[in-house]
Amino acid sequence: MPQIYHNVCTLDCPAACRLLTEVENGRIVNIKGDPQYAYTQGKLCAKGYALKERVYSSERILHPMKQQGKGSGIWQKISWEQAYTEIAEKMIEIDEQYGNLLPVCLDKYLGTTGFLSQSVDYFFDSLGPVTRLAGNPCVTTGTDALVLNYGACKKPVPEDMLNSRLIIIWGANLAWTNIHQMRYIFEAQDQGAIIVTIDPIVTATAARSDVYYQIHPETDGKLALGLAKILVNENMIDDEFLDHCTLGWSEYRSYLATVDLDEVAEATGIPLDKIYELAILYGTTKPATIRIGPGIQHGLSGGQNIRAIDSLVALSGNIGISGGNIHYTLGEYSQLRTPYSMKQNLNKSAHRVMGMDWFTQIEAIDPPLKLLWIAGRNPVAQDPDSNLVVQALQKIDTVVVADHTLTATARMADYLLPVCSPFEFEDFVVSFWHYGAGLNQQAIRPLGESKPDFEIMKEMADTLNRLKPEMSSFPTHITARQWLNQEFGPDLYVALGIKDYRDLVEKYARLNLPDVPWEDRQFATPSGRYEFFSNTAIVYQVPPLPSSVEQPVLSTLYPFRLMVVRYCMTLNSQFYHGSSLRHLEDAPVLLVHPETGRLQNLGEGDWAKVYNQMGQIELPIVYSLTVPKDILVTYIGMEDSNGKAINTLIGFFGTDMGQISSGSRGIAFNNCFVNLMRR
């Protein structure tokens, strides 16, 4: 009989599925969904079922490695002792040369949602002032938009969609990116709710909706303003809420009067009668909710677009009611994941802070970056301008990557440190979507010489302190379990109703946040009201009203917009390596409208060169009627036939927001224009 362990999928995915891991003779024989778990009911996505393959993949790195020259491919196995000592010596050398550790920097994000990985941040904090990267590539723009409107980014529980009579899925492909939410959407649909999708691409989600609007990218703000104008004209607004709970309503109303509906139809590509249809549907069906995807905020004016969409919720009286509101992301998440001692230190630390565009400033900063530690991130694949990221990494003396496989970024490392899979150490996870928490039991022993991030940081601190006493205040004397309990209990545990994270084996726990946000209509804005007009926006050089912003005009040189969307078989860049999943559909490909393909003399299966001023990549063509004629679509995190990252073609453009929640603007990944020709 196999032994069963409780685990959680730690991928950066809203579901945080609970898993049952069957182990025989110290080896995982099966990983399946835990049927006890209310949100996911024992189902997993394809990636969940492929987790075992990833653990035992021959592509996994199982020993510390050192490369002779970044990108040379000449790797040598080294001992942990050698890796720690050489990296510690570099840090000490930097400290002695510069008199501080500002040339040392960390780049980290949600490669794993496990809380123990926060020990990496904690280690860099323990060194005193270093360089830290503010911001993240994900949800910051939209978070700020909601912060401007409400004062905080809050959301309803996912199950609240069952109470909605209308669900608008606006710029999200939930059937691929939030798969378990589709069950609630289908259930609501079975009970008579209408499902609307607004997306430039006919996605798998659009295919399952009742109504689909094909919109030109980045014109969502315009559509929202047009809808708002019709709601006002047709008197389908909640006067009581508007008069008593909002700020700037009269300014917003005056602004809406200037919106030209014909222009909205022209800009969005949605005929005026269809815009009316949607406005009437939204204005007359209550409660109605809107699910905004992170995809939509990756545009130049992503923040203003989200503010405009959100103001529909305020106009129509859908705020604070069950079945209404906006579903976006759990705004409190990054605070929850910050270790207690780091929160205490936040104001005291004198870190040098760089934004998401750090790699564009590599020549200019003083003191220069000398040592970069990358954990839970793959910036060469996932940041814009992959070539520039590679060049930046080349200019940094010592690049350390802690990862599972030889990713695009790891190929540019000097040291590659093998981290364990989540089945190889104990940890816990809280979902940023459904608030459920789960325990990751250690199901098997670490493979090869791999270690969890916590052990790596602890031993790194030990080595540093041995070579130069008191370099790091990282607690080298305690276990991971003690550290987790010390840094995340008791506040988080009270919110979860547990005493120790190990209680989660037996217990289903969820953050005790309200099911519906803003029921009391006490908003967290400076005025205490929902702010159509935001003075805070002005401070951040954003127009105070959710006004529309002109979009860049397509250049004749690069007449197609390239949209890099997520893929059902990968998770950002993960599963590109170490899994056979993506091969099931021969990804990566370039999806092209057949008419566009024919005009460019490119047939199905032909190889196309996709290029712009940034560079070029080569991909095989797949004809698809799901894609508009002026858009090309490919999948995130992949590489072309020459090993070039897709993001090679994406320039670094900041979005209009992100600084409030994260200190750095978001990234306008979708602002990418290209041309194509036969290879």
CA distances from 473 to 95, 123, 464 (A): 16, 8, 10
Q: Give the pairing type, strands 530-531 and 246-247.
A: parallel
Q: Which of Mo ion, ligand SF4, ligand MGD, none lies near 472, with the C-beta cut-off 5 to 8 A by kind? A: none
Residues with Cβ < 8 Å from 664, sequence gap 6 or more?
Answer: 133, 134, 135, 140, 355, 356, 357, 658
290 is in the binding site of which of ligand MGD, ligand SF4, Mo ion, none (Cβ under 5 to 8 A by kind)? none
56, HSE (Cβ side, Cα atoms, 13 Å) = 10
In angstroms, what CA-CA distances link 342 with 105, 346, 348, 376? 16, 6, 10, 19
Both tokens assigned to 571: 């998770």
Q: Should residue 293 be labelled a site residue for ligand MGD when binding is judged by CB under 6 A?
A: yes
Q: In this chain, which of 20, 28, 31, 44 binds ligand SF4, going by CB under 6 A? A: 44
Segment contacting Mo ion (CB under 5 A): 112-120, 138-146, 372-380, 526-534? 138-146
Question: Does 301 sit near ligand MGD (CB under 6 A)?
Answer: no
Q: Residues 511-545, buried b or exposed e (16+ Cβ, 10 A)?
A: beeeebbbeeeebebeeebbbbbbebbeebebbbb
Judged by CB under 6 A, does residue 378 bind ligand MGD?
yes
308-329 burial code (b ≥16 CB/10 A, e <16) = bbbbbbbbbbbbbbbbbbbbbb
Burial class (CB in 10 A: 0-12, 13-18, 19+), 93: middle
504 contacts: CB under 8 Å, gap ≥ 6: 6, 428, 437, 438, 439, 498
- Candidate list 21, 40, 67, 112; residue touching ligand MGD; CB under 6 A: 112
> Rounded to the nearest whole angstrom, what is the least distance from the CB of residue 172 to ligand SF4 in the complex?
14
- Is 136 in contact with 121 (CB distance < 8 Å)? no
Interacting span for ligand MGD (CB under 6 A) from 63-71, 195-203, 252-260, 545-553:
195-203
The answer to whether residue 138 forms part of the interface with Mo ion (CB under 5 A) is yes
CA atoms within 13 A on the CB side of 299: 25
d(CA 282, CA 227): 9
The contacts of residue 347 (CB under 8 Å, 6+ apart) are none
Nearer to Mo ion, 138 or 617 (CB): 138
**201 binds ligand MGD, rule: CB under 6 A:** yes
Residue 181 DSSP SS3: helix
Among 42-50, 418-426, 526-534, 637-645, the segment contacting ligand SF4 (CB under 6 A): 42-50
Determine the longest span between alpha carbons in the chain, in angstroms.
74
Judged by beta carbon distances under 5 to 8 A according to partner kind, the member of ligand SF4, Mo ion, ligand MGD, none in contact with residue 44 is: ligand SF4
- CA distances, 296 to each of 117, 168, 174, 175, 498 (Å): 29, 13, 13, 16, 37
3-state secondary structure string across 6-29: EEECCCCCCCCCEEEEEEECCEEE
Is residue 406 a contact point for ligand MGD (CB under 6 A)?
Answer: no
Q: Which does 48 bind (CB under 5 to 8 A by kind): Mo ion, ligand MGD, ligand SF4, none?
A: ligand SF4
The nearer residue to ligand SF4, 37 or 611, going by C-beta atoms, is: 37
Question: Which one of residues 637, 654, 658, 666 is an interface residue with ligand MGD (CB under 6 A)?
Answer: 637
Mark residues 423-462: x for contact with ligand MGD by CB under 6 A, - for none. Answer: ------------------------------x---------
Q: From the CB of 346, what's the least distance to Mo ion, in Å?
A: 23
Name the one residue in this structure whose structure tokens are 């009286």.
317
| Number of shown-chain residues binding ligand MGD (CB under 6 A) | 59
- Rounded to 5°, the CA angle 333-33-57 comes to 90
Q: How far is the CB of 204 from ligand SF4 (least distance, A)?
A: 14
**Nearest by Cα to 167 from 151, 153, 148, 181:** 181
Residue 218's binding partner, choosing from Mo ion, ligand MGD, ligand SF4, none, with beta-carbon cut-off 5 to 8 A by kind?
ligand MGD
Which of the residues 548 through 567 are near ligand MGD (CB under 6 A)?
Answer: 563-567
Is 172 near ligand SF4 (CB under 6 A)? no
Given a contact cutoff of 8 angstroms between Cβ atoms, the answer to whether 172 and 292 are in contact is yes
Closest CB 528 distance from ligand MGD, rounded Å: 31
Q: Measured from the CB of residue 207, what is the shortest distance to ligand MGD in angstroms?
A: 12
- Are the C-beta atoms of 599 and 593 separated by less than 8 Å? no
Q: Which does 155 bind (CB under 5 to 8 A by kind): ligand SF4, ligand MGD, Mo ion, none?
A: none
Contact window for Mo ion (CB under 5 A) among 134-142, 197-205, 445-453, 592-600: 134-142
487 binds ligand MGD (CB under 6 A): no
Distance CA 218, CA 670 (A): 9
Report which secondary-structure segment, H or E, holds 207: helix 204-207
Closer to ligand SF4 by CB, 80 or 435: give it. 435
**What minimum distance in Å lies between the beta carbon of 580 and Mo ion?**
24
Using rule CB under 6 A, residue 581 touches ligand SF4: no
15 contact choice in ligand MGD, ligand SF4, Mo ion, none (CB below 5 to 8 Å, kind-dependent): ligand SF4
Rounded to an integer, what distance in angstroms lies between the CA atom of residue 222 and that of residue 65? 52
Chain residues in the site for ligand MGD (CB under 6 A): 12-13, 109-112, 117, 137-138, 170-173, 176-177, 198-201, 203, 215, 217-218, 220, 293-296, 298-299, 375-378, 381-382, 402-404, 407, 419, 453, 563-568, 570-574, 636-637, 647, 650, 669-670
Chain residues in the site for ligand SF4 (CB under 6 A): 9, 11, 13, 15-17, 44-45, 47-48, 179, 571
Chain residues in the site for Mo ion (CB under 5 A): 138
